[in-house]
C-alpha cells in the first residue's frame, strides 16, 4: 500500500471500503435467462437424443492440407501485445467505473433507476449527496491505479493503452487479410452455426468434443468466438467509448442514439468488458485442458511439438504482463505528473485536430430534461458567499480583469442586460454520469466583446468561491478558442429558474464540448491571462493540478 498523508488518505483510502454488486430484478432475470436458456436447451437435447455427432474436421489431423498452417510471427507478437493492452484497459477501466459505480439505460441517471451498481449504498434523500460522495474504493490488486478518486490517473493509462490496442488491432487485421490467415477466423458457410451449436452442446454437458489441432484450424465454436471478439466486440468497445465524448455527442446527438443513449453506450462498454473477461477465462481454460505445452508452442514459437520451450517462454511473457501492472501502480503514485504529461503529449494533438474542432449543436427538448441532476463539487463555506446567498446575490459583482482593455465589475442584472441565451444540453461528468438541463445565461462571446482581450491573451481563468478537493480555491481555465464556441455561456438560470445554490449560484460556466469539471461553479471572478501555465501548478486547473485530469477533456 502507498503511504499517504492524512488528507490524501481520507480520500484515497477511506474507512468504508465495502464492495457489493447489486442488480435490478429485471436485469437479474435477463441475465439468468441469457445463461440458462442455451444451457437448458443443450441439456434437453442431450437428454432427448444424446450428444450430437460432430463431423470430422480436416483441421483435426496434424499436417492436414486444408486451411492456413501455423502462426507467423506477426500473429504471435500481436497476440502478446493485445494481451498486454487489453488487460491494462480492463484494469484502468475498472478504476474509472468506480468513480460513478452505477450503470443505467437512461441519460438522466436518477438514483434508483440504475440496472446495476457496485456499491452497498443507496443515495440518501435527507441531505446533499454528491457524485464525489458516491464514488467507491477499489483495490489496486484488480485495478490500475486502484484506491478511490484516481480517475485522472486511470484515464491516462486508459487513453495511452487504447492507442496500443487500436494499433495492434489494425496491424493484426491487416495481416489477416493480406494472408490466408483470415480463413481461420472468418466463417464462410452458414453451416458453421449448426456445427458451433453442436460443439456447445458437448461443452455444456461436460464433454470435450474432438479437439482440432489449433496449429491447422479451429472448431466452429472457436471460430465464431474469435470472430465475435475481434470483429464485433473490439470495434463496439471503440465506438461506445467514442459515444461518451461530450464533443462528439453534443455535435451529433444522433450518433449516440445508435446505442440507445449516452448511458446505454456506457453500459454496453461495460458489458464488452465482461465479454472480454469471459473470453479470456474460457480461452485460457481450454488452452490448459487441450494440451497446454503444445498450444503454448503454437502461439509462442510457431511450432507444433511437445517441447517445453514455448510453455516456459509463454509463462515468462505472462509474468511480464503481471509485472507491468505492478510497475504501472508505482508509476501512478511516484510519477503521476510525468504520466499526465505523457498522456497529454500522446492524445492532445489528436484531440486538437479532431474533437476540439467540433461545434456544439444539441437538439434536446424540454420533455427530455432530466428529473434528477447529480450535484457535485464542494459547496462554498466562505462567509462572503454565504452573505451574498442570503441576499439572493443582489450585492454580487463579477469582476473581469487581467489582460483586457476594459476591465469590468457586473451585477447579475447587468449581466442579464447583455442578453440571455438559453440552451438545453447534456452534461457529461468525468465520473460517468450525465444529465440534460436548460441553461440560461450570457454568452461568453458577448462578455469577451465587452472587455476586449489584449492580443496576447490566450486563456481565461475562472475562480470559484468553492474549494478544490485538497483545499485552496477551485479554478479552471479555457482557451479563448473554446470560449468563443456556440453554447458557451455564463449561466445564471437553470431549468427556467435562478441557478440553485447547489448547482453553482450565482454563476457557473457551460462549455458543451468538454467534461463537466471544466465548467466552474460558484464563479467569483474571471481573469484573462497569457497562458494556463502561469497559474497554480501550470496544468490548467485545480483538478489538473491535484488529480491529474486532462487539460482538454473532449472525451
Q: What is the pLDDT of residue 68?
A: 78
Q: What is the mean pLDDT of residues 286-307?
A: 94
Pull the grid cell for residue 348. Answer: 492532445
Q: Which residues fall within 8 angstroms of residue 137, CB to CB, at 6 or more apart?
A: 13, 14, 16, 17, 19, 98, 147, 148
DSSP code at position 530 = S
- What helix, strand, coil percent values describe the chain, rounded to 5? 50, 15, 40
Q: What is the length of the chain?
A: 555
Cell of 545: 493540478
Pairing of strands 459-467, 523-529: antiparallel
Q: What are phi and psi of 498, to 5 degrees?
A: -55, 145
At 425, is the secondary structure helix, strand, or coil?
Answer: strand
Band of pLDDT at residue 215, cut at 50, 70 and 90: confident
Backbone angles phi, psi at 366, to 5 degrees: -60, -30
Fold exhibited by the domain 363-546: Sulfite Oxidase; Chain A, domain 2 (3.90.420)
Q: Residue 253 and residue 335: Cα distance in Å, rounded?
A: 38
The predicted-structure confidence for 338-378, as pLDDT tens digits, reads as follows 999 999 999 999 999 999 999 998 779 999 999 999 999 99
Helix or strand or coil: residue 126? coil
**Residues 6 or more apart from 410 whose CB is under 8 A from it?**
397, 398, 400
For residue 393, list its beta bridge partners: none
What does the alpha-carbon distance between residue 330 and residue 494 come to, in Å, rounded to a whole number? 43
What is the arithmetic mean of pLDDT over 478-494?
96
- Could you read off the pLDDT of 75-130 as tens digits, one per residue? 999 999 999 999 999 999 999 999 999 999 999 999 999 999 999 999 998 999 99
Task: Write down the number of H helices and E strands in the chain.
Answer: 20, 13
In terms of pLDDT, which residue wins out, 61 or 28?
A: 28
Confidence of residue 60 (pLDDT cuts 50, 70, 90): low
Q: Which of 381, 302, 361 is nearest to 512 (CA)?
A: 361
pLDDT of residue 214: 82
Which element (helix H / strand E) includes 125?
A: none
CA gap 508, 500 in Å, rounded: 10
The dihedrals phi and psi of 478, each to the nearest 5 degrees, come to -135, 145
C-alpha cell at 526: 474571471
Q: What is the pLDDT of residue 265?
A: 98
pLDDT more than 70, % of the chain = 98
Domain limits, the chain? 16-356, 363-546
Enumerate residues 6+ apart whose C-beta is below 8 A from 170: none
Amino acid at each position: 500500500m502507498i503511504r499517504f498523508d492524512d488528507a490524501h488518505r481520507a480520500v484515497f483510502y477511506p474507512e468504508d471500503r465495502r464492495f457489493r454488486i447489486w442488480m435490478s430484478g429485471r436485469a437479474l432475470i435477463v441475465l439468468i435467462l441469457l445463461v440458462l436458456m442455451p444451457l437448458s436447451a443443450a441439456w434437453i437435447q442431450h437428454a432427448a437424443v444424446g450428444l450430437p455427432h460432430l463431423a470430422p474436421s480436416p483441421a483435426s489431423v496434424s499436417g492436414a492440407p486444408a486451411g492456413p498452417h501455423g502462426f507467423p510471427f506477426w500473429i504471435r507478437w500481436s497476440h502478446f501485445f493485445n494481451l498486454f493492452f487489453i488487460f491494462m484497459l480492463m484494469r484502468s477501466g475498472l478504476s474509472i467505473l468506480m468513480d460513478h459505480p452505477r450503470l443505467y439505460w437512461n441519460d438522466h441517471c436518477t438514483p434508483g433507476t440504475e440496472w446495476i451498481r457496485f456499491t452497498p449504498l443507496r443515495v440518501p434523500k435527507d441531505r446533499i449527496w454528491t457524485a464525489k460522495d458516491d464514488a467507491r474504493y477499489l483495490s489496486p490488486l484488480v485495478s490500475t491505479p486502484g484506491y478511490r478518486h484516481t480517475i485522472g490517473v486511470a484515464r491516462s493509462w486508459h487513453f495511452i493503452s487504447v492507442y496500443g490496442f487500436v494499433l495492434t488491432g489494425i496491424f493484426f487485421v491487416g495481416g489477416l487479410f493480406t494472408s490466408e490467415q483470415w480463413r481461420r477466423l472468418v466463417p464462410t458457410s452458414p453451416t458453421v452455426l449448426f456445427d458451433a451449436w453442436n460443439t456447445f452442446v458437448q461443452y455444456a454437458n461436460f464433454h470435450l468434443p474432438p479437439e482440432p489441432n489449433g496449429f491447422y484450424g479451429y472448431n466452429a465454436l472457436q471460430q465464431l468466438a474469435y470472430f465475435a471478439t475481434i470483429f464485433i466486440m473490439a470495434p463496439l468497445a471503440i465506438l461506445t467509448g467514442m459515444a461518451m465524448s461530450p464533443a462528439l455527442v453534443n455535435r451529433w446527438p444522433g450518433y449516440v442514439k445508435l446505442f440507445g443513449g449516452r448511458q446505454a453506450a456506457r453500459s454496453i462498454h461495460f458489458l464488452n468488458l465482461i465479454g472480454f473477461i469471459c473470453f479470456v477465462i474460457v480461452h485460457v481454460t481450454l488452452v490448459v485442458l487441450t494440451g497446454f505445452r503444445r498450444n503454448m508452442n503454437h502461439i509462442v514459437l510457431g511450432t507444433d511439438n511437445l517441447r517445453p520451450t514455448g510453455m516456459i517462454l509463454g509463462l515468462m511473457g505472462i509474468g511480464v504482463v503481471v509485472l507491468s501492472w505492478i510497475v504501472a501502480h508505482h508509476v501512478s503514485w511516484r510519477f503521476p505528473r510525468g504520466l499526465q504529461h505523457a498522456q497529454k503529449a500522446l492524445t492532445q494533438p489528436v484531440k486538437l485536430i479532431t474533437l476540439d474542432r467540433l461545434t456544439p449543436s444539441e437538439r434536446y427538448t424540454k420533455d427530455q430534461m432530466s428529473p434528477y441532476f447529480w450535484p457535485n463539487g464542494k459547496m462554498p463555506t466562505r462567509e462572503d458567499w454565504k452573505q451574498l446567498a442570503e441576499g439572493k446575490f443582489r450585492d454580487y459583482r463579477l469582476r473581469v480583469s487581467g489582460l483586457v482593455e476594459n476591465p469590468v465589475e457586473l451585477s447579475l442584472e447587468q449581466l442579464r442586460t447583455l442578453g440571455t441565451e438559453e440552451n438545453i444540453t447534456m452534461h457529461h461528468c468525468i465520473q460517468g454520469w450525465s444529465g440534460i438541463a436548460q441553461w440560461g445565461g450570457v454568452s461568453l462571446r458577448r462578455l469577451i466583446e465587452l472587455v476586449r482581450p489584449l492580443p496576447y491573451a490566450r486563456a481565461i481563468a475562472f475562480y470559484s468561491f468553492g474549494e478544490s478537493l485538497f483545499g485552496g480555491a477551485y479554478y479552471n481555465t479555457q482557451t479563448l478558442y473554446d470560449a468563443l464556441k456556440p453554447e458557451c455561456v455564463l449561466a445564471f438560470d437553470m431549468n427556467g429558474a435562478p441557478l440553485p445554490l447547489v448547482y453553482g449560484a450565482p454563476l457557473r460556466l457551460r462549455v458543451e464540448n468538454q467534461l463537466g469539471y471544466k465548467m466552474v461553479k460558484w464563479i467569483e471572478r474571471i481573469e484573462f491571462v497569457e497562458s494556463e501555465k502561469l497559474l497554480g501548478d501550470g496544468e490548467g486547473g485545480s483538478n489538473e493540478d491535484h488529480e491529474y485530469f486532462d487539460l482538454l477533456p473532449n472525451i
